Structure 1
Amino acid sequence: MTPEERRAELSESLAAVRERLAKACHAAGRSPEEVELLAVTKTFPASDVALLSDLGLSSFAENREQEARGKVAEFAELRPQAARRWHMVGQLQRNKARAVARWADVVESVDSERLAEALSRATTNALETGERERPLDVLVQVSLDGTTGRGGCSPEDVHRLADMITRTSGLRLRGVMAVAPLGGDAAVSFDTLSSIFERLRVDHPEAVDVSAGMSGDLESAVAHGSTRVRVGTALLGGRRLTSP
């Protein structure tokens, strides 16, 4: 596929996703401006990110630090003047905190105090050395099915983790993130997340983001208050790269 053909394909997919979002927001009585579209570019090349940037997107997400590191650098070379915010949305090991702090603007998958501590140390160091210019925005990932296999802390631990994050010097609490359990009722899951978020905001009004909803369930997420949907397949298609 030529770059021109790929651009046309991505443009068509982006228009379709935006139409879905607009319809979902209308059905929920919300403005489309209330919901951010986050392009999940894992397994896709930096050239696709560059084309999406040309089409007006500025928020991109990765789920593996090793893949993201090179892609972020390559994209910066392809589009040095482009506005962009990079999100880490995958499960993150503490030993990757230092590397992530060098390229991520947002980490959405903070699910333990130990990980938050590691990210805080890494971010503070990166600020001191000039490797980044601002604190790291983070979301508390919540497990909605009682398991930790896909990441996330239990709903009962959200407040304690949020409190700890606000005491760090390098992190800024911005909200919550969750993935609807496989085989479950997405509406029930997102309603639960909405309740967790509203309780969190009582003590943490700075938490304004709800990252929920993907290609298959974004409508339900929007109906339950999501402010950011993470879309990969519906936007970019099937997997293109062999993961490093």
Structure 2
Amino acid sequence: MGACVASGRERADVTLIVVTKTFPAEDVRLLAELGVRDVAENRDQDAAPKAAACEDLPLSWHFVGQLQTNKVRSVASYADVVHSVDRTRLVGALSREAVRLGRELDCLVQVALDAGSGEAGSRGGAAPESVAGLADALAAAQGLRPAGVMTVAPLTGPYAGRPGAAFERLREISTGLRATHPAATMVSAGMSADLEEAVAAGATHVRVGSAVLGERPPLG
């Protein structure tokens, strides 16, 4: 990956998660044949049937969209990593389903860098000061592990149009979180348009769709 070379990082330090939304299960199979092991979806109605159709493949499924509690039962059945934990109610719902299914889920706290104190972000996520409490809740919950942090480059607020600065702030938050949760090492940041800035800022996982699969067909 050119972004790793440009930032002086080893390619092995960054995991490519291919976002396959709107593309069919057949394309996921082609990706697996090419060596892709991490795939993501942001809508359960797309992800659930696709994961079922590809359950024989050696893949890790990542759920990266805003998650409503009424979708938790389904998402917990196939997702290995949930990137969008942003409220304690969601922690409880995920824990109940993980226990029921006998699964262990890695969970990332989604950080909203456009959110004021106590507010949610326009693209989901919790304000930075809520991260520690959510990670503590994940650590205390059965069937869940606090695995790190995630953000989406904000469209409003002080970091709008400044993805590099946003991702540097996420790195600071990640460093603080690891002081109390050393295993929470994942930093999920960057998509097709800003993956270079994310990698330069220390992202361990980038969520890339169009840069791998091309432009998506329109949603029907």
TM-score, normalisation: structure 2: 0.93
> Percent same amino acid at aligned positions?
53
1:96 aligns with 2:104: no
Identify the residue that residue 53 of structure 2 maps to in structure 1. Answer: 74
Structure 1: distance between partners of 2:91 and 2:19: 23
After TM superposition, list the pairs within 5 Å mapping 1:12-23 onto structure 2: 21=1, 23=2
1:143 aligns with 2:112: yes
Structure 1: distance between partners of 2:63 and 2:185: 18
One-letter identity of the residue aligned with 1:174 = A
In structure 2, list runs of 5 or more residues that go unmatched. none
Are the equivalent residues in 2 in contact too, given 1:135–1:171 (CA < 8 A)? yes
Structure 2: distance between partners of 1:105 and 1:86: 5
TM-score, normalisation: structure 1: 0.84
Are the equivalent residues in 1 in contact too, given 2:86–2:124 (CA < 8 A)? yes
Are the equivalent residues in 2 in contact too, given 1:135–1:172 (CA < 8 A)? yes
After TM superposition, list the pairs within 5 Å mapping 1:1-244 onto structure 2: 21=1, 23-76=2-55, 80=56, 82-127=57-102, 134-146=103-115, 148-182=121-155, 183-240=160-217, 242=219
Structure 1: distance between partners of 2:215 and 2:54: 21
Q: Secondary structure at the match of 2:9?
A: coil
CA 1:48 to 1:241, structure 2 compared with 1: closer, same or farther past 3 Å? farther
Q: Which entry has the higher C-alpha Rg, 1 or 2? A: 1
**Runs of 4 or more consecutive aligned structure 1 residues displaced over 6 Å after TM superposition:** none
Structure 2: distance between partners of 1:200 and 1:34: 19
One-letter identity of the residue aligned with 1:180 = A
Aligned-residue offset at 1:237: 1.5
The root-mean-square deviation of aligned C-alpha atoms, in Å, is 1.2
Q: Secondary structure at the match of 2:54?
A: helix
Aligned-residue offset at 1:212: 0.4
Are the equivalent residues in 1 in contact too, given 2:167–2:198 (CA < 8 A)? yes
Q: Which has the higher helix share?
A: 1
Structure 2: distance between partners of 1:24 and 1:135: 32
One-letter identity of the residue aligned with 2:77 = R
Aligned-residue offset at 1:241: 5.9
- Residues 102-153 of structure 1: CA distance to partner in whole angstroms, max 9, x if unpaired? 11111000000000110000110111xxxxxx40111000001115221100
Structure 1: distance between partners of 2:28 and 2:218: 13
Are the equivalent residues in 1 in contact too, given 2:113–2:121 (CA < 8 A)? no
Structure 1: distance between partners of 2:136 and 2:54: 35
Report the count of equivalent residues.
Answer: 212
Structure 1: distance between partners of 2:15 and 2:217: 24
In structure 1, list runs of 5 or more residues that go unmatched. 1-20, 128-133
One-letter identity of the residue aligned with 1:232 = G
Aligned-residue offset at 1:74: 1.5
